[in-house]
Structure 1
Amino acid sequence: MNMKVLVFYDMHGSLSALRSIRSVVKKKDPDLIICGGDITIFEDGLIELVDRIARLKKPVLMIPGNHESDEEMEAVCSLYDNVHYIHKSFHRIKNHVFLGWGGGGFAQVDSEFERFVKSNIKKKFKKGDKLILVTHGPPFKTKLDDLYGDHVGNTSYTKFIKKHKPKFAFSGHIHETSGRSDKMGSTKLHNPGPKGRIFSL
């Protein structure tokens, strides 16, 4: 059974983006909201912004961007029953398994991510499940990490996608590629941008 999901990235405190997300929720009535990080500019207004997202009264999955610290983001998310902090973890909703991995800048390799996947993927992901990758930074050498002709994404994410073939891989971080989509094998790659897009997972 498919799930209707609203995904957004890199809001950076924008009230117009927040209004857009609220409007999409009202019109499309998604089953789930995913925030892929950088909801703020260096954590300014973090509590208020997470509160506004929580008050949309939908389940929310959230990871930090490079503008939020792991500890602060987790603490704020823990204040809300409907906001689930999925950074460095797997989160299951029926047969949908979300792997969340936030933070980061422009590092091309994430050894911690690779070790985490190797240790946990077989325990968390079973045959028949739908795997969805939610990272803040994009995979390497795609339309999503092409910054003026240079590829600035992460090779660890690319290796993961090629090996484990998630249904979707969502990412952001590179504002210049906001709204772009791509494909890697059977995996659909998307940078949904700050105003939110609906996907059927």
Structure 2
Amino acid sequence: MKSLFFSDLHGDQQAITRIKTLLAKVDVGFGLGDFATFGKGLPETIQPLVSSTEVYFVPGNHDDAEELNWLCEEHEVFHYLHGEHVSLDNKTFAGLGGGLPGLPFGLTEEKLQQVLNRFYYLENLVLCTHTPPFGTNVDVTWGGSHIGYRALRDFVTEVQPLAVYSGHVHEAEGKTD
């Protein structure tokens, strides 16, 4: 199964066009949040991505989670993945959106843990998150601060998913851990 993971479009029309082109070449897409900018422009970013390719979405800290869920309900090929999971190609993809407290769709570590508790016993797990785990190469800002979730790091250490895909930290574009 050929997959595309993307995030942090923030309404950028060139990025939207590029993602739409890439979605036509894959079996499934995963949108990992921050399609809007401070809650503005979510429909204008998401609706151009409608095609025959199924896309699973989690909200980012800039996205209105209810609006994203509604947009997913409006389009047959879109699916809201936050707090949910789906089995595809012998893997279980689980979604976790949001950002740190104080951001528009911020989740406390406790709320995040409540969502993660749903995923503990899933097999062949692939996590699709907006905010990365704390203390990794992909949660470091330009200033050197780690801004990921500690509960997510602990979950990843304990459960050892097959992979974790995340967005949020623009400085980490293209980095892996």
TM-score normalised over the length of structure 2: 0.88
Amino acid in structure 1 at the alignment position of 2:48: R
User: Contact 2:5 / 2:31 at 8 angstroms: preserved in 1?
Assistant: yes
* Structure 2: unaligned runs, 5 residues or longer: none
Task: Tell me the equivalent position of 1:194.
Answer: none
CA distance in 2, matches of 1:73, 1:32: 18
User: Contact 1:108 / 1:152 at 8 angstroms: preserved in 2?
Assistant: no
User: Contact 2:98 / 2:107 at 8 angstroms: preserved in 1?
Assistant: no
If asked which structure has higher relative contact order (CA below 8 Å, sep 6+), I would say 1
Q: Deviations over 1:28-55 (max 9, x none)?
A: x211011000011123232232211123
Matched, 1:171 2:166: yes
Q: Percent identity?
A: 31
What RMSD, in angstroms, separates the aligned Cα atoms of the two structures? 1.9
Task: Tell me the equivalent position of 1:5.
Answer: 3
Task: Tell me the equivalent position of 1:47.
Answer: 43
Task: Tell me the equivalent position of 1:191.
Answer: none
Task: Tell me the equivalent position of 2:114.
Answer: 115
Change (3 A) 1:181 1:7: same
Between Structure 1 and Structure 2, the one with more strand by share is 1
Task: Tell me the equivalent position of 1:197.
Answer: none
* Structure 1: unaligned runs, 5 residues or longer: 183-201
Count of residue correspondences: 172
Shift in Å at residue 169 of structure 1?
A: 0.5
TM-score normalised over the length of structure 1: 0.78
User: Contact 1:108 / 1:153 at 8 angstroms: preserved in 2?
Assistant: no
Amino acid in structure 1 at the alignment position of 2:111: E
Moved more, 112-121 or 135-144: 112-121
User: Contact 2:120 / 2:159 at 8 angstroms: preserved in 1?
Assistant: no
Corresponding residue to 1:75 among 63, 70, 77: 70
Task: Tell me the equivalent position of 1:88.
Answer: 83
